[in-house]
A and B are shown apart, each in its own frame.
Chain A
Amino acid sequence: MQLKDKKLKSYPSKPSVRSALIMATCTVLSGSLSPASAEEEDDSTLSRIDLSTLYYSEEDRVSVNTTHVVVENDLGDEEFVRANFIYDTITGASPNGRIIPADQGSGGSIPFTSASGFTLNVNDVGSAGQKWLTEFTDKRAAIDLSWEKPITRTLRRIFEGNFSSENDFTSYGGAATMVWDLNQRNTTVTGGLSVLKETVSPDSGTPLELAIANCNDTAPALPVWANCNITSPRFGNGHKRVFDGVIGVTQVINKRTITQLNYSHGVSLGYLTDPYKLISVVDNNLDGEEVLILYEKRPDRRARNSLYWKTVSQLSPKKVVDFSYRYFWDDWGIKSHTIDYKYRYDYAPKSYLQPHIRYNTQSSADFFHNAIDAAVNELPRYASADYRLDKLQTYSIGLKYGKELGKSGAFAMRAEYIVQNYNAVSLPDMKALVYQGTFSFKF
Chain B
Amino acid sequence: MIKSKINIKTLVHYSLLFSFLLLSGCSTLKTGGMFAKETVEPWHKELLAEERMQLNPYPLENSADQKIYYSRESANGGQGIGGGGCGCN
Chain A interface (Cβ within 8 Å of chain B)?
1-5, 7-8, 10-16, 19, 50, 52, 54, 56-57, 59-60, 62, 66, 68, 70, 84, 86, 94, 136, 138, 140, 142, 144, 146, 160, 162-164, 166, 168-169, 171-173, 175, 177, 184-186, 190, 192-194, 196, 198, 200, 242, 244-246, 248, 250, 252-260, 262, 264, 266, 274, 276, 304, 306-308, 310-315, 320-323, 326, 328, 330, 332, 334, 336, 338-339, 341, 343-344, 346, 352, 357-360, 362, 365, 388-389, 392-397, 400, 412, 414, 417-421, 430-434, 436, 438
List chain B positions with a Cβ less than 8 A from chain A: 1-2, 4, 8-9, 11-13, 15-16, 19, 22-23, 26, 32, 34-38, 40-49, 51-61, 63-64, 68-69, 72-87, 89
A436 near B61 with CB under 8 A, answer yes
A sample of 25 cross-chain residue pairs with beta-carbon separation below 8 angstroms, ordered by A number, consists of A3-B45, A8-B42, A12-B43, A14-B43, A59-B1, A60-B1, A86-B63, A140-B86, A162-B84, A169-B85, A171-B84, A171-B86, A255-B44, A262-B78, A264-B77, A264-B81, A311-B34, A359-B13, A392-B73, A395-B9, A397-B8, A397-B15, A400-B61, A421-B9, A438-B61
When the two chains form their complex, are residues B53 and A258 in contact, meaning their CB atoms are under 8 A apart? yes
Given A8-B45, A323-B19; A264-B78 close (CB under 8 Å) = yes
Number of A-B contacts (CB under 8 A): 266
**Complex alpha-carbon distance, A1 and B9, angstroms:** 33
How distant is the Cα of A50 from the Cα of B59 in the complex, in angstroms? 9
Which chain A residues border B47 with CB–CB below 8 Å?
19, 255-256, 314
Cβ–Cβ contact A2 & B46, under 8 A: no
- CB <8 Å contact, B16 and A339: yes
Cβ-defined contact, A312 with B55, below 8 A: yes
Cα of A192 to Cα of B77 in the assembled complex, Å: 13
Bound-state CA distance A394–B72 (Å) is 9
The minimal Cβ–Cβ distance linking B36 to chain A, given in whole angstroms, is: 6
Contact (Cβ within 8 A) B73 A388: yes
